A and B are shown apart, each in its own frame.
Chain A
């Protein structure tokens, strides 16, 4: 293995090991297992690039580098969508919070059209 491979494999091994450290995880077991599988695949691809080429040939792709590129492109699309839905979820939570604040701070204006109104009052 060359220097890059050693560094990459060490980093990946550390990432995999951290998944098994007992602590309070925020992600589900299924997601964490998927992450370990992806990391293991990455470690295998870095350690044995010829195997990647063999897998590429199975799919009718000439070079191992090409199949890695295709997988990365698909992963980018999937991740983009994931972050988009996360952002939507966050926005909904923010809106719910904003709504609660608005409902608590409701104010009533005067009793007539401007010029003939009296002082307003406030909810709660």
Chain B
């Protein structure tokens, strides 16, 4: 079984080294890693190039959804059986990957969504907690999928699921888009507890509250254009 980890990174030079070390030292044994440098203006690409990982570079910043789409396409092309998406900013814990891919390896699920609310959210500010709660209700209302953490970037896909799911949203709305497609494409999914660690750096770079409104706008507009 080939497990591939897709790391989308935009201006993560300061955090990517720790993320990749974590993945290579505490990750689930032999995995292939692809870092998609999403048009960074800092040294993200050269940091990734120092590690035994594949590096892909978007010539311009396209958004996290686009970076994940590129990484998944690359992994599928190279024969991945399981694909894990992992944020490049060090928020995630590589030791969670084994638990995330287990339901797929045991053929119990096609998609496994990481959930910080089933696991741990270290130093999560109240504002972020409320925002994620609103996202959860939005997903239940619009996508009619009851998951606890639809915005979590740590997920695992079987090869079949990765091929089936179409990520059209270039930006952050891709998370909602992925969850929406699960019932429509008859994919079996479950959640796995994961740890998300908040630091001042990740919070400074992370989503602002008003971005939630933009994400909803992108979702609506995305449905209107082919």
| Interface residues of A, Cβ cutoff 8 Å to B | 81, 84-85, 88-89, 91-92, 94-95, 98-99, 101-103, 105-114, 117, 120
Contact = CB atoms under 8 A, between A and B. Distances in A.
B55 A98 contact: no
B57 interface: yes
Contact of B62 (A85, A94, A107): A94
Contact of A114 (B39, B50, B63): B50
A120 B55 CA distance: 11
A99 B70 contact: yes
Given A92-B170, A98-B60, A102-B70, A107 B221 contact: no
A29 B54 CA distance: 48
A106 B49 CA distance: 11
Task: Report the interface size class on chain B.
Answer: 35 or more
Interface of B: 17, 21, 24-25, 34, 36, 39, 48-60, 62-63, 66, 69-70, 73-74, 77, 168, 170, 218, 221-222, 224-225
A103 B52 contact: no
A99 B51 contact: no
Contacts of A106: 34, 54-56, 74
Contact of A101 (B55, B59, B73, B225): B59
